[in-house]
């Protein structure tokens, strides 16, 4: 399937409305505002396209949710994961230390909330159910995290990916959201948007 520039614009517009819902969820959890820092689209992605993400040596915490033809990933730098864990725990368990294991759990829960906000917007607009798996925690370089999510996709045809970087200046934190959709899902979305 060929994805035209107009198709890309339509899908990106839909996903960005989902990102709006996600930033609201992040704001509620962290008690600070989040903004879109950058957006990157790749119409035909392969695992090799994500290799450069590992070059910084930066460590990340993340989680992904999947269902046939789609994977939604959310990940944070180690520093941001610690900040988000503290914010997440502050409203639930006072005095709990943000250990790496606790960060895995907190980031998975935050990711689950943020990812499902995007999936709900997509599902509502397309008139379909996006039933996603429970979040799978991942930790490592950017490349390792993205490749783990990519490996869960098992796509039909080519892959359309969108990466959106978010930041919160108030707590010096960042979050990267990534959606990977195969040809079948992209075709379904485009048909739904044409209605």
Residue 31's domain spans which residues? 5-193
User: Using CA atoms, how far apart are residues 167 and 151, in angstroms rounded to an integer?
Assistant: 27
Cβ-based neighbours of 29, under 8 Å, separated by 6 or more: 84, 87, 88, 91, 110, 113
Residue 160 gets which letter from DSSP? E
Least confident of 28-42, 66-80, 172-186: 28-42
The CATH number of residue 177's host domain is 3.40.1550.10
According to the model, what pLDDT value does residue 135 have? 95
- Helix, strand, coil percentages, rounded to 5, for the chain: 50, 25, 25
Pairwise CA distance, residues 78 & 151, whole Å: 23
Can you give the pLDDT at residue 64? 96
Is residue 184 predicted with pLDDT exceeding 60? yes
**Residue, of 8 and 65, whose pLDDT is higher:** 65
Residue 39 — very low, low, confident or very high, per pLDDT cuts 50/70/90?
Answer: confident
DSSP-derived 3-state class of residue 161: strand
Q: How many helices (H) and strands (E) does the chain have?
A: 5, 6
User: What's the pLDDT tens digit per position in 87-116?
Assistant: 877 765 555 566 777 888 889 999 999 999
How many domains, the chain? Answer: 1
pTM of the model: 0.86
């Amino acid at each position: 399937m060929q994805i035209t520039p107009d198709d890309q614009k339509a899908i990106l517009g839909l996903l960005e409305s989902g990102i709006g819902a996600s930033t609201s969820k992040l704001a509620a959890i962290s008690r600070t505002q989040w903004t879109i820092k950058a957006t990157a689209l790749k119409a035909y992605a392969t695992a090799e396209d994500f290799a450069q993400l590992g070059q910084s040596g930066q460590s990340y915490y993340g989680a992904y949710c999947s269902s046939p033809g789609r994977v939604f990933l959310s990940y944070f730098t180690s520093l941001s994961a610690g900040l988000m864990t503290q914010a997440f725990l502050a409203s639930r368990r006072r005095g709990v230390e943000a250990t790496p294991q606790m960060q895995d759990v907190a980031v998975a829960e935050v990711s689950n909330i943020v990812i499902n906000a995007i999936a709900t917007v997509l599902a509502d607009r397309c008139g379909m159910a996006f039933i996603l798996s429970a979040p799978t925690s991942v930790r490592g370089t950017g490349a390792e995290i993205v490749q783990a999510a990519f490996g869960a996709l098992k796509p039909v045809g080519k892959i359309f990916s969108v990466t959106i970087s978010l930041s919160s200046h108030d707590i010096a934190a960042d979050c990267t959201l990534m959606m990977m959709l195969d040809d079948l899902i992209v075709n379904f979305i485009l048909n739904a948007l044409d209605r």
